[in-house]
């Protein structure tokens, strides 16, 4: 029986970025003190991340929506974004997926799992993907759980690859084959 926290029942939509999303995205991407930054690659120096995100906000304001990047919309509100990129060589069938939920109010209730499921489905529908991957670090347990719920399996772990708040953490990659997704 599907319950309230069943990700397949959440009102999550992936859609093109719209001009009305830019203030929300700018706020979440420009503030170095937001909570999501503690979970998305916190091992990179803050100054580097700040500069990268500043340039990204500028890019968003100057470019049209991209088919490899979508807004995560919950009840008409932008709460995050998904993205994907093809791993070389082009046409090899390997796509790496990313997901960020900026708003902590959208954490823990299945929004990330639902958004990732929609993005996996979209990727298999619109690309030549044979395999999709997600990359994270061992401290991001929510990301790892979301991927595993959808059938991803750990395919690589580099032990103690990153330092996060003075503690050594692993780099983790999970993969999912098209055939596994279709059987799921």
In the CATH hierarchy, which top-level class contains the domain 8-183? alpha beta
pLDDT at 90 over 50: yes
pLDDT given at position 10: 64
Nearest to 74 by CA among 13, 20, 121: 13
pLDDT at 163 over 70: yes
pLDDT given at position 4: 44
pLDDT at 124 over 70: yes
Comparing 46 with 80, the larger pLDDT belongs to 80
**Given pLDDT bands bounded at 50, 70 and 90, which one contains residue 131?**
very high
Q: Which residue has the tokens 């900026």?
A: 102
pLDDT at 93 over 80: yes
How is the beta sheet containing 12-15 ordered, strand by strand? Answer: 12-15, 69-74, 77-86, 94-101, 131-137, 167-177, 153-164
pLDDT given at position 171: 96
pLDDT given at position 49: 78
What is the arithmetic mean of pLDDT over 139-168?
Answer: 96
pLDDT at 2 over 50: no
Q: How far apart are CA 118 and CA 97, in angstroms?
A: 11
């Amino acid at each position: 029986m599907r319950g309230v926290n069943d990700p397949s029942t959440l009102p999550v939509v992936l859609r093109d970025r719209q001009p009305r999303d830019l203030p929300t995205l700018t706020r979440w991407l420009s503030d170095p003190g937001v909570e999501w930054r503690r979970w998305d690659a916190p091992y990179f120096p803050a100054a580097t991340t700040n500069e990268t995100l500043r340039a990204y906000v500028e890019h968003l304001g100057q470019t049209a929506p991209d088919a490899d990047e979508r807004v995560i919309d919950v009840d008409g509100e932008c709460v995050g974004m998904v993205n994907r990129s093809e791993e070389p060589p082009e046409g090899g069938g390997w796509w790496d997926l990313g997901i960020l939920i900026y708003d902590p109010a959208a954490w823990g209730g299945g929004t990330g799992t639902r958004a990732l499921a929609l993005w996996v489905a979209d990727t298999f529908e619109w690309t030549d993907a044979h395999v999709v991957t997600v990359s994270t670090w061992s401290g991001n347990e929510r990301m790892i759980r979301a991927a595993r719920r959808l059938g991803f399996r750990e395919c690589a772990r580099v032990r103690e690859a990153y330092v996060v708040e003075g503690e050594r953490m692993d780099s983790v990659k999970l993969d999912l084959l098209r055939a596994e997704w279709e059987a799921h």
